[in-house]
């Protein structure tokens, strides 16, 4: 695998880690604020469903990025092997 591909993988992993570290506190504060509105009954059931979906995506995003990087690295390695480079 090319040096720039390995560098990109490490850069992406570091970026995903920084995303998780930096935005964890922000997301926790937003969840705390929204929980007060949810318990007060000020939000519709439809909005709460969308809210839970967004929170689920925020939680799953680092893992989805790591899966995408892994798949990209495997495809890249197969391409390089087939071309004999």
Report domain extents, the chain: 3-83
Give 42's contacts (C-beta < 8 A, 6+ positions apart): none
Predicted model pTM: 0.68
On whether the CB atoms of residues 48 and 38 are closer than 8 A, the answer is: yes
**Would you say residue 84 has pLDDT above 70?**
no
Give 51's contacts (C-beta < 8 A, 6+ positions apart): 34, 38, 43
C-alpha dihedral, 40 to 41 to 44 to 45, nearest 10°: 110
Q: What is the pLDDT of residues 24-52, one digit of tens each?
A: 888 899 999 999 999 999 999 999 999 99
């Amino acid at each position: 695998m090319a040096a720039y591909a390995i560098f990109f993988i490490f850069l992406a992993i570091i970026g995903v880690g920084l995303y998780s570290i930096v935005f964890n506190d922000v997301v926790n504060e937003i969840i705390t604020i929204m929980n007060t509105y949810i318990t007060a009954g000020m939000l519709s059931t439809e909005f709460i469903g969308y809210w839970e979906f967004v929170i689920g995506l925020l939680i799953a995003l680092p893992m989805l990025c790591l899966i995408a990087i892994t798949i990209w690295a495997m495809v890249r390695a197969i391409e390089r092997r087939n071309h004999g480079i």
